[in-house]
Structure 1
Amino acid sequence: MAADTLNVQPFATGLDHPRWVHVLPNGDVLIAESNKQPRPPQGIRDIVAQKIMGIAGAGVPSANRITLLRDGDGDGVAELRSVFLDDLTSPFGMALIGSDFYVATTDALLRFPYETGTTRIDLPGEHIVALPANAPNMHWTKGLIAGADGQLFVSVGSNSDHGEAGMDAERNRAAIWIVDPAEKSARIYASGLRNPVGLDFEPTTGELWTVVNERDELGDDLVPDYLTSVRPGGFYGWPYVYYGDRLDPRVTGSAPDMVAQSLTPDYALGAHVAPLGLTFSDGARLGPAFAKGAFIGQHGSWNRRPASGYSVVYVPFESGRPNGRPIEILSNFRTADGKARGRPVGVAIAKDGALLVADDVGNTIWRVTIRDRSKPSLSLDTTNR
């Protein structure tokens, strides 16, 4: 169900666990149909991690492909569907710089040649840098965005909830990387971010922002997931502390220097809402109420009572900073008895200004537009899945 001033309709249905959305300059829409790679459990930690991932929707085999959707006649429904890239290893983030198309798979950043209008790439990808995928690879998604100077930013989640696997398992994880694709080199841009996923640049300041999934098992109301600007060299607390200076009682080992430099995130979204998708509203045509802020796809909690998330929210901004409470713009992804009929993930602004939302349980890309009062808005619970 969409907010009162908005309308929602399916842009494409029948996809295979669509996780991420990228809009090309010509209006073509790329969808990463992807999931965690299978792996036999190796001990109790893996069994618990796989149970958690299964509850969160990761039990579906990965299609390992990127699909291209095209709405050539402009009616708001994609009539062309083509396999753009396949045989990838859990692809997720995508970025285009000139004629170079980049994909962040779970274990590598790859580069492919791209020509405007092409519907399939058959050439093999060029390996740019390896990305951490050490077992059990708990947070497997790798977000990706291109900076104005041709560098790339990659989000890399932790390999545990609160460092219980040991910090050797977290080497170069729980961080955002900056990659120089020409030099094929990478370094840590910011760290202490348990599971950053979506990345975008705030249009008035040019600052990089991300949404972060925080730790579990501290109760239904802890710890708040968040939206934050990302400072170069910044440390955001994981695993030692959360939300600035709140110590995690489960984390052993003293790190007073790290605790002292921990930054407080900009904006709490609520506990266990699982924010994954992030896009600022620059280019959106959803009316003045949604013209200056950030859209966030909240995948939803896996064990919270009551459940939280399962929605797309809008956070208003003023002068480059969050300014006001989040506004729910797309909801009703759960049935009356608590079952998920859908779970939002990636969000992106289409070339025509619509908001596109990947739903990896409903296997649908939703298209949100400003409402035409002469037409009823579609209720998500009436959609034929």
Structure 2
Amino acid sequence: MVPAIRVPRRAQFAAVAAVAALALTACTPDEPAPTPSTSAPTEPVVTAAPSESQSAAPAPMAIGELASVPLTVADGVDPGPAQGRSVNLPEGWSAEVWTAIPDARLAAWTPDGRLLVSSGDFGVVHVLTPGQGGEAPASSVMLDGLRSPQGLAFTDDGATLVVGESDRLVAYDYAAGVASNPRVILDGLPSNGHGAKAVAISEGTVYYSLGSRSNREPAEREANPERAAVGAVGLDGSGNRVFARGVRNGFALDFAPDGTLFVAVNQMDNLPYPFQDDSGRFGEVFTEFVNDNPVEQLTRLTDGIDLGWPLCVPDSRDGVTDVPYVPDAEFNADGSRLDCGALPATQVGLPAHSAPLGMTFTHDTALADVLGAGALVGAHGSWNRTPPQEPYVAFAPWDDATATLGAAQYLMTGFQDDGGARWGRPVMPVVGPDGSVYVTDDHAGLVYRLTPGP
């Protein structure tokens, strides 16, 4: 049995449900983290096995229940807040503090087996060359003086690197750990609000995130440039356009086994109750509901798609896969501004306010032989929920027959104690040439190496 991440079902959304009073929530990656603590980590919350179509996905190793695993430390590395810590991983897996990188954010493996890591607050991109045995990687600054660099992606031939800065996209020639010949692809992009730029590249087109300025403001759909979108532009800067709209903060981007672009979305906060049911609370904002709604979205993007924000709301009352939409109670109550029933369903719902920031598909990596094809997602955790939604790394299995993702399963937890205090916040998981999963953590300033057991 492969457990799935729990998101409340229909009965749990009812206004009359017996639930504890919890504080209002948010899921913005730029908000401050809670104070770290030395208390023991929490265990993941799981439910029943996924559906038959999900279990058909090629996953040689069922994740199952997670177990506490001590973090070892590579030679010469200062583990900082990870000193003496443990994390929760699948049985047989090990975890190592591989290196220390302040504000370690997004990451990408180079064609020649080095790991690039962006440090947005420091304006740099680091290049890490793996060492031998238990050695830490050799680390140096590859690019400096950038404007809050985040996204990193290579062209199909590996010869060109694109970096997403706060207000522009820049391309570089890449060879042997050196990036040279910078040229600006796109400049003057808005950087306020959810302004960090993730990037993904396919067949000469650069896809980039252009998140919303606000929490929930319909006017941003008509702004110039349009916000809450994923853009597309040629490597030469030509043909810039909106590829997908209504994407509140689609910061995690990658390509599935079928070549289509997927996104993980940080959804809105303080959502008015959108269901005209017997509760009589339509349009109200109350903590029992907003703590677990709306779910974060993990779904496919196609040219011209609309994910509805903020006029339509993901409706996960009947489950966390194939999630439909309902009209927003404040901005689109009668459905006249946007037909929510006509929008393609979200493939997977992730726990509300968990802030997914990085995503990597495994099908073309050495990990596929162990875990199968699917999407690894790094989630930062909520910033003001009470109790906080915990940070995690999750895995959503891919079903070749339907070309869809199944319900997500926890792969790594343990960054948060029972009181909600955290010592770390994962950002992005990437798979190395050795089949290990390398996870960045901007709060602890570390990169972890997760290695599957025999």
TM-score w.r.t. length of structure 2: 0.69
Question: How far 1:166 sits from its partner (Å)?
Answer: 5.6
**Structure 1 pair 304–332 and aligned structure 2 pair: CA distance change class (3 A):** same
Question: How far 1:246 sits from its partner (Å)?
Answer: 2.0
- Please tell me whether residue 313 in structure 1 is matched to residue 394 in structure 2: yes
1:83 pairs with 138, 141, 149, which one? 141
- What is residue 196 of structure 1 aligned with on the other side? 250
Q: Is the 8 A contact 1:76 1:367 kept in 2?
A: no
2:297 pairs with 226, 230, 238, which one? 226
- Please tell me whether residue 139 in structure 1 is matched to residue 194 in structure 2: yes
1:334-376 alpha-carbon deviations (Å, 9 max, x no partner): 134321111111121112221111111111111111125xxxx
Mapped partners of 2:224, 2:326: distance in 1: 21
What letter is aligned with 2:252?
Answer: G
Q: Is the 8 A contact 2:211 2:251 kept in 1?
A: yes
- What is residue 17 of structure 2 aligned with on the other side? none
**Structure 1 pair 281–166 and aligned structure 2 pair: CA distance change class (3 A):** closer
Q: Is the 8 A contact 2:221 2:227 kept in 1?
A: no
Q: Which has the larger radius of gyration?
A: 2
2:268 pairs with 215, 231, 235, which one? 215
1:71-113 alpha-carbon deviations (Å, 9 max, x no partner): 142x364431110001000111112224322111010011122
Gaps of 5+ in 2: 1-86, 272-289, 315-323
Q: Is the 8 A contact 2:390 2:416 kept in 1?
A: no
1:46-93 alpha-carbon deviations (Å, 9 max, x no partner): xxxxxxxxxxxxxxxx101100111142x3644311100010001111
Q: Is the 8 A contact 2:438 2:447 kept in 1?
A: yes
What letter is aligned with 1:256?
Answer: S
Gaps of 5+ in 1: 35-61, 373-385
- Please tell me whether residue 368 in structure 1 is matched to residue 450 in structure 2: yes
RCO (CA 8 Å, sep 6+): is it higher in 1 or 2? 2
Q: Is the 8 A contact 1:285 1:369 kept in 2?
A: no
Mapped partners of 2:114, 2:127: distance in 1: 7
Q: Is the 8 A contact 1:156 1:173 kept in 2?
A: yes
- What is residue 151 of structure 2 aligned with on the other side? 93
- What is residue 127 of structure 1 aligned with on the other side? 184
Question: How far 1:286 sits from its partner (Å)?
Answer: 4.5
Percent identity, please. 28
What letter is aligned with 2:97?
Answer: P
2:412 pairs with 330, 335, 338, which one? 330
Mapped partners of 1:295, 1:33: distance in 2: 21
**Structure 1 pair 80–21 and aligned structure 2 pair: CA distance change class (3 A):** same
Question: How far 1:131 sits from its partner (Å)?
Answer: 5.4
- What is residue 124 of structure 2 aligned with on the other side? 65
What letter is aligned with 2:201?
Answer: A
Q: What is the Cα-based RMSD across aligned positions, in Å?
A: 2.3
What letter is aligned with 1:329?
Answer: L
2:107 pairs with 21, 36, 43, which one? 21
**Structure 1 pair 280–167 and aligned structure 2 pair: CA distance change class (3 A):** closer
**Structure 1 pair 335–131 and aligned structure 2 pair: CA distance change class (3 A):** farther
Q: Is the 8 A contact 1:30 1:68 kept in 2?
A: yes
Mapped partners of 1:152, 1:172: distance in 2: 17
Mapped partners of 2:104, 2:188: distance in 1: 21
Q: Is the 8 A contact 1:284 1:355 kept in 2?
A: no
**Structure 1 pair 242–76 and aligned structure 2 pair: CA distance change class (3 A):** farther
Mapped partners of 1:349, 1:188: distance in 2: 30
1:260-315 alpha-carbon deviations (Å, 9 max, x no partner): 54332111112111111111112444475611211110110112233224010111
- What is residue 93 of structure 2 aligned with on the other side? 6
Mapped partners of 1:351, 1:76: distance in 2: 16
Mapped partners of 1:266, 1:297: distance in 2: 17
2:372 pairs with 284, 291, 294, which one? 291
Q: Is the 8 A contact 2:327 2:333 kept in 1?
A: no
Mapped partners of 1:278, 1:167: distance in 2: 25
